[in-house]
Amino acid sequence: MKEQLEKIEIEALEQISLATDLKHLNELRVTYLGKKSTIQSLMPMMGKLPSEERAAFGQLINGVKTRIMTKVEEKQKELEALELQRKLEKETIDVTLPGKDFRAKSFHPISIIVDEITNICLGMGYQVEEGPEVESDYYNFEMLNLPKDHPAREMQDTFYINENTLLRTHTSPVQVRTLLKHNGVGPLKIICPGKVYRRDDDDATHSHQFYQIEGLVVDKNVTMADLKGTLSILAKKMFGEKREIKFRSSYFPFTEPSVEVDVSCYACDGKGCSICKGTGWIEILGAGMVHPNVLKMSGFDPNVYQGFAFGIGVERIAILRYGIDDIRYFYTNDLRFLNQFSKER
Ligand code: DAH
């Protein structure tokens, strides 16, 4: 039996070393070590041996099995490496072939405007903050000086998840979230671009979902002049160096005083045309000085800190910039529309 095993081992090791591919190697493994192999068929013999020979026989047979197995594993590694080598040689890249035509597609007009405004603000030292679209009533309204029965809530009806959770109606709750993070210590200077929602019947100028960019600056000695200077730079960068802005008084519960900001018409230089509806001015955003109640509720002392804030409607800017006549084009994924915009941001 010992001789038989030695013979098998010699034969197996030789056959394995001659194997030329993985399939062949696997067949050899089955032949020499599989259930029906000679070695396996010798196993039951062990029981028939006198007990003093059993251990030696066991060692012998296991030794043979291990050496064959080791050889199979070595060979497998060798063949795998060879196969990879072969594959690599066969699959070399012909760098002289002309490349495939990956046409650079255009960016979405909303993304272009968001990026543009973000970059201008980053240049003025703002940081970008984000907040959740599923927001609490508390941050979306209460903390912005809009208690439960406030009439200004009427204009911002939205989709409710439950009584206290809703799809945010503006990016202004990010003001609250940021203020709270700063624990009553300024300065802070942030913008927040993002999606907002309202319960609206969609038409050419209304959508139940749109984009805003919120701005907030809180520091000591911040005045309306800082707000005007900032928005003036923004307007010039967006609509051209010759643009001027003007404030019209307005009302937002979270700012006092509040203003509506107009930019002089870029199409007619303020003379009056169809774009500015003959007025020479185009409304671009809402803004104001942060209401002392808002500062107080979020842990800032309004006797020490002041702030200004603004909220830009992104679609409105894109509509003006590109002369788009229906807000719904932004969301219907029509390639004839989307492909018209710049490939660069
Ligand atoms: N949140 C306002 C809206 O959606 C826009 C706005 C107005 C934001 C004035 C501001 C602000 O930060 O100061 O109608």
Q: Whose CA is nearest to atom 4 of ligand 1?
A: 170
Q: Whose CA is nearest to atom 6 of ligand 1?
A: 311
Question: Distance of CA 335 to CAs 101, 286, 289, Å?
Answer: 19, 32, 42
- Do the bridges between strand 209-219 and strand 245-252 make them parallel or antiparallel, or are there none, so unpaired? unpaired
Q: Find where tokens 């309306």 sit.
A: 224
Ligand 1 contact via 313 beta carbon (within 6 Å): no
Residue-wise burial string across 169-179, b where 16 or more C-beta atoms lie within 10 A, e elsewhere: bbbbbbbbbbb
How much is the average pLDDT of 178-201? 97
Give Cα 163 distance to the centre of its chain: 29
Bigger pLDDT: 96 or 344? 96
Which of 170, 175, 196, 222 for mutating ligand 1's site (highest number of atoms within 8 Å of CB)? 170
- Banded pLDDT at 57 (limits 50, 70, 90): confident
Ligand 1 contact via 311 beta carbon (within 6 Å): yes
How much is the average pLDDT of 5-26? 91
Closest ligand 1 atom to 155 CA: 14
Task: Please tell me the predicted confidence (pLDDT) of residue 53.
Answer: 84
* Token digits of residue 180: 């709270």
Q: Per-residue pLDDT for 14 more than 90? A: yes
Q: Per-residue pLDDT for 344 more than 70? A: no
- Banded pLDDT at 102 (limits 50, 70, 90): confident
Rounded to 5°, the CA angle 323-326-329 comes to: 100
How much is the average pLDDT of 56-84? 91
How much is the average pLDDT of 119-139? 98
Task: Please tell me the predicted confidence (pLDDT) of residue 51.
Answer: 84
324 C-alpha to ligand 1 centroid (Å): 23
Q: Per-residue pLDDT for 345 more than 60? A: no
* Token digits of residue 2: 């010992």
312 C-alpha to ligand 1 centroid (Å): 8
Task: Please tell me the predicted confidence (pLDDT) of residue 54.
Answer: 85
How much is the average pLDDT of 10-39? 90
Closest ligand 1 atom to 169 CA: 4
**For residues 273 and 291, is the Cβ–Cβ distance under 8 A?**
no
* Token digits of residue 185: 């210590």
Phi, psi of 300 (to 5 degrees): -105, 140
327 C-alpha to ligand 1 centroid (Å): 20
44 C-alpha to ligand 1 centroid (Å): 87
Question: Distance of CA 133 to CAs 11, 56, 162, 211, Å?
Answer: 72, 75, 14, 11
Ligand 1 contact via 310 beta carbon (within 6 Å): yes
303 C-alpha to ligand 1 centroid (Å): 23
Q: How buried is 124 (Cβ within 10 angstroms: 0-12 exposed, 13-18 middle, 19+ buried)?
A: middle
Q: Per-residue pLDDT for 313 more than 80? A: yes
How much is the average pLDDT of 284-303? 98
Which of 179, 254, 284, 289 for mutating ligand 1's site (highest number of atoms within 8 Å of CB)? 254
How much is the average pLDDT of 268-294? 94
Ligand 1 contact via 173 beta carbon (within 6 Å): no
113 C-alpha to ligand 1 centroid (Å): 18
183 C-alpha to ligand 1 centroid (Å): 23
326 C-alpha to ligand 1 centroid (Å): 23
How much is the average pLDDT of 222-231? 97
Residue 185 makes CB contacts below 8 A (sequence gap 6+) with: none
How much is the average pLDDT of 252-275? 94
pTM: 0.71
Task: Please tell me the predicted confidence (pLDDT) of residue 343.
Answer: 63
Q: What is the mean pLDDT of the chain?
A: 93
Task: Please tell me the predicted confidence (pLDDT) of residue 228.
Answer: 97
pLDDT more than 70, % of the chain: 99
Q: Per-residue pLDDT for 128 more than 90? A: yes
Q: Whose CA is nearest to atom 8 of ligand 1?
A: 311
Ligand 1 contact via 287 beta carbon (within 6 Å): yes
Q: Whose CA is nearest to atom 14 of ligand 1?
A: 170
